Structure 1
């Protein structure tokens, strides 16, 4: 009876042919796999950089007017707000003296809000009015803490649009301010500080820097002369930073109504880079 099987020569031929086919497949598929891995890395880096940029832009755009400070191109400080509106700057003549306008020529403890707010002001948060320069914000010359929140008395006046009567710690705001605007700074956050540390690239083409966000440390009247040094509990906003630059121009146009902060981030991993350049305007009109 004849036995069927493979000869050694046939097995060797099959192995050689299989090896040739495998080598050919590697040649064709390797670039595709490398491109897939590169696209995945770049997608991750883009999401990380975009998230960091959006967080910084949110804080800059909602900042107290004239509150940005910058010791160098690797960091900046700003005071974000949570709300704001219009306040009464003149008496309601039909309220029988019940209205509470803000008088910037003497200390005050109350004023009426005449515009809708996103939410009721929180006792302990900060009211900022008429801030003209960063020094006034950080020394609290233009700020006072909220001590009470109540509805204003009813009035028959068609102009009595009061929504809240806000009590504050006794304060005389910068005299002569008639803009009629105020902003609210959350006490839980206060000022925030962004710092890029150790930006660069290692031998593998991966960024070595980290972007940190400091918050809740209060208000420092002294202008910063250097970037804050991160601690173990400092929030990390982004890693793998290869390049990081912040450039603030307080008066980019002839009207001087807004400052402009340009933010540049480059994130790198395994030789792949993602560059983002964003710009954000910060209101200069208190």
Structure 2
């Protein structure tokens, strides 16, 4: 009679142990590279998001009204006044004008910006790129903004609303006596404040615009919805070193993104600000 072929219990257990070892080894070989790839992909995505947000902030900061950058005490909110356009105003009468006539319809004998009394228009001495004096809507005129005292555009002492002038080379505005002259006859047209705010509870970096100018920093602005620039925000810090006689202003931005500390990325950027008013 033929004997029945088969495995012994010892052989079966030995095979199972060997298979288990092979599965464990092959699992580590495959799993670790996959995990490393997913981690690198997640960090690259977080880095891209942070870089996009910082570049947007840098673009707005470079177009900010001189000396208008302000930061909250906790370093989580940054606000500025956005400059739409600017140039130089006429500070002396045009001697070539017939009988001394100027270009301002309301005051044809004078087209200069008068600092000795109430004025409402002046001639622009350069081409404007973004601002059209004949079609204005909510813009403001600012002259010699220092960020404090009489030269503070947030309080409105050197800021007034622009009106339609009817002429391309004339800027007309609400009656005002500007308290300070610009040594270089410079003026700026601002359209809206811009605020960046880190909401650490929701993990978002938000951008606000289109709200009224306030004398004090309100975070967030009232009745305004912010646009999300980044999510997964774990930490952020904004700081501002004001300009001095030897250097320009310096804005420092620090942004940390990531759901877990072991996968978080941190980017730091510094932006020089020309604060010549």
Query: What band does the TM-score fall into relative to the shorter chain?
Result: 0.7 to 0.9
- Structure 1, unaligned runs of 5 or more: 1-6, 153-163, 200-207
Question: 1:204 — aligned with what?
Answer: none
Q: 1:193 aligns with which of 175, 195, 199?
A: 195
Per-residue deviation, 1:32: 1.8
Task: Please give the TM-score of this superposition, normalised by the length of structure 1.
Answer: 0.76
Q: Counterparts in 2 of 1:1-286, with a 5 A limit?
A: 23-72=24-73, 73-96=75-98, 97=100, 98-99=102-103, 100-121=111-132, 122-124=135-137, 125-134=139-148, 136-151=152-167, 164-186=169-191, 190-198=192-200, 209-221=203-215, 223-224=216-217, 227-228=219-220, 233-251=225-243, 253-255=244-246, 258-270=248-260, 271-286=262-277
Note closer, same or farther for the CA distance 1:231–1:150 as it changes in structure 2 (3 Å cut). closer
Per-residue deviation, 1:37: 0.7
Equivalent pairs, count: 252
Note closer, same or farther for the CA distance 1:178–1:191 as it changes in structure 2 (3 Å cut). same
- Structure 2, unaligned runs of 5 or more: 104-110
Per-residue deviation, 1:140: 1.8
Note closer, same or farther for the CA distance 1:87–1:215 as it changes in structure 2 (3 Å cut). same
Per-residue deviation, 1:22: 5.5
1: CA distance, partners of 2:222 / 2:44: 27
Q: What's the C-alpha RMSD, in Å, of the aligned pairs?
A: 2.9
Question: 1:3 — aligned with what?
Answer: none
Note closer, same or farther for the CA distance 1:95–1:255 as it changes in structure 2 (3 Å cut). farther
Task: Please give the TM-score of this superposition, normalised by the length of structure 2.
Answer: 0.79
Give the secondary structure class of the aligned counterpart of 2:164: strand
2: CA distance, partners of 1:114 / 1:14: 92
